[in-house]
Amino acid sequence: MPELKGWKEVPIGGIIDKPATAKEYKTGTWRVIRPVHQIENCIHCMMCWLYCPDQAIVIEIVDGKPKMKGYNYDYCKGCGLCANVCPKTNDKLPVDKRAIIMKPETEFQE
Amino acid sequence: MPEVKNRQAVTGAQAVANAMRQINPDVVAAYPITPQTPIVEYFAQYVADGLADTEMIPVESEHSAMSAVVGAAASGARAMTATAANGLALMHEIVYIAASLRLPIVMPVANRALSGPINIHCDHSDAMAERDSGWIQLWAENAQEAYDFTLMAIKIGEHEDVRLPVMVNLDGFIISHGVEVVDFIDDEAAKKFVGKPIVKYPLLDLNNPVTYGPLDLYDYYFEHKRQQIEAMKHVKHVFKQVAKEFEKISGRKYDIIEKYKTDDAEYIMIALGSTAGTIKYTVDLLREEGHKVGLVKPWVFRPFPKEELQEILNGRKAVIVLDRAASFGAEAPLYEAVKSALYEAAVRPQIGSYVYGLGGRDIKVEDIRKAFEDAFEGNLIADEERYLGLRE
């Protein structure tokens, strides 16, 4: 979250007076489960990228093709949609064969 | 005093529509509802005749009317509508949004009773239901004031320190349909007075993109409400400033409250709207009989003229408040506010509450005299609501 301003500082009427301010709104603070990318199992099909509601999937173009590079955890709110649509992630696959695994956020807390 | 060039006998609706023609707003979206209908009819005629180049949007409901006007105002247009009673109630949701988005929309309201049972006549329950919506409320006593306030409302609402919508209340039928003599300001002077729209954050300014109506949760909603509270605090000085400017072109003087024969008055009656005229007449009769009586009429009801009332009512013998609306399970709205204002008066007068005229019930000189007589006899009870013109 950006630092909160007082009532004298913000534009009237809740008006947002410049574009792309949603970037400042870090939905990652909401996350309770975290998707973890296991790149060795990923076929880079881009389903996760297509479905992610927060544009939190990090992509790199390599030789003209998109490659899934992991997550921007500032914006990933842990909805799990990516794991749900991932063709390399399902209940039948053992955990070490999945491309995306969901882990409790508590495991990452220091 | 400027020379009167254009004096006509018109209905209040015609007077208001003529003000709208002179304002020549960019957009008017409206749905007809009795007794507001003739305002929009006259105005639509002006547009059809090419006397106003307003984009007139006939919509399918008042909810849409207010929505269209909010959209237009957000885009940077000067936008107006008019309504009454159930139409205003149907707008309710968007009435709040107009104020919250800080859009200086001007809306004449031909005050009428809210259903049910169905009633089309004058009553203040429609406007009172919106008193906490964040709109400025001006109250007219007659067609002249309704015309004048419609012009003034534009400048008050659009002022940099205010940026709030304004409701111009005129009693349904009594003012909207009654014919009176009205002094119109000539077109050029009126146009010059209202000036060009003062636009803030227009949606159509593509070089400076803005977002209207985003999600505003617990992190900023409170701050935005505080800004609205502040804007309301600025209304009084802006009103006075606009009134002064208006006086120069019209010769007519307005203030937050009107005081009628109050200088030495021991007994003061307070009422909104057209009944103030009947009270003035009754005050004159009672004065002839030697009673020291007077009237205070709030021209501005929101923001509430608390300090002005405290100042004028302090030390009087009695204050009689007349309400044309009831508040079920509580005190009548004007009375409640006046009583609250008097809490800190150094010398608190006796005070009494009278509800009258619901659903268009006639209010007569005898009724007003009866309320005054109760006061003369010391027979006012602060916690008792009484009724004028009601059959027991």
H and E: helices and strands count for chain B: 12, 15
In whole angstroms, what is the distance from residue B143 CA to residue B104 CA? 23
Interchain CB contact of B206 with A (< 8 Å): no
State pLDDT tens for residues B277-289: 999 999 999 999 9
Q: Mean pLDDT in chain A?
A: 94
Cis peptide before A94 (omega within 30 of 0): no
| Inter-CA distances, A71 with A40, A44, A85, B200, Å | 15, 14, 16, 40
Amino acid letter, B339: K
**Which residue from A7, A15, A18 is facing B223, i.e. has the nearest CB?**
A7
What does the block give as tokens for B137?
A: 């409320």
Q: Mean pLDDT in chain B?
A: 97
Neighboring chain B residues of A12 at a CB cutoff of 8 Å: 102, 163, 200, 224, 227, 231
CB neighbour class for B359 (10 Å; exposed up to 12, middle 13-18, buried from 19): middle
| Nearest by Cα to B303 from B167, B179, B181, B203 | B167
Q: Do A1 and B100 touch (CB under 8 A)?
A: no
Decide which of 3.20.20.80, 3.30.70.20, 3.10.20.30, 3.30.390.50 is the CATH code for A32-108: 3.30.70.20
Helix B306-313 vs helix B333-341: crossing angle, to nearest 10: 70
What is the distance, to the nearest Å, from the Cα of residue B323 to the centroid of all Cα atoms in its chain?
A: 14
Interchain CB contact of A20 with B (< 8 Å): no
State pLDDT tens for residues B307-363: 999 999 999 999 999 999 999 999 999 999 999 999 999 999 999 999 999 999 999
In whole angstroms, what is the distance from residue B175 CA to residue B43 CA? 17
In whole angstroms, what is the distance from residue B326 CA to residue B123 CA? 10
Q: Do B220 and A4 touch (CB under 8 A)?
A: yes
Measured over the CA atoms of residue B228, residue B229, residue B230 and residue B234, the dihedral's sign is positive
Q: Do A16 and B223 touch (CB under 8 A)?
A: no
Asked if residue B265 has pLDDT above 80, the reply is yes
Interchain CB contact of B160 with A (< 8 Å): no
State pLDDT tens for residues B68-106: 999 999 999 999 999 999 999 999 999 999 999 999 999
Asked if residue B1 has pLDDT above 60, the reply is no
What is the residue whose two structure tokens read 């006061």? B375
| Inter-CA distances, B353 with B137, B139, B331, Å | 22, 20, 8
State chain B's maximal CA–CA distance in angstroms: 69
The pTM (predicted TM-score) of the whole model is 0.91
Provide ipTM, 2 decimals: 0.88
B 361-380 residues with CB < 8 A to A = none
Query: What pLDDT was estimated at residue B5?
Result: 75
Asked if residue A86 has pLDDT above 60, the reply is yes
Rounded mean pLDDT of B213-217? 91
Q: Among all residues of chain A, which has the CA nearest to that of B134?
A: A13
Query: What pLDDT was estimated at residue A24?
Result: 86
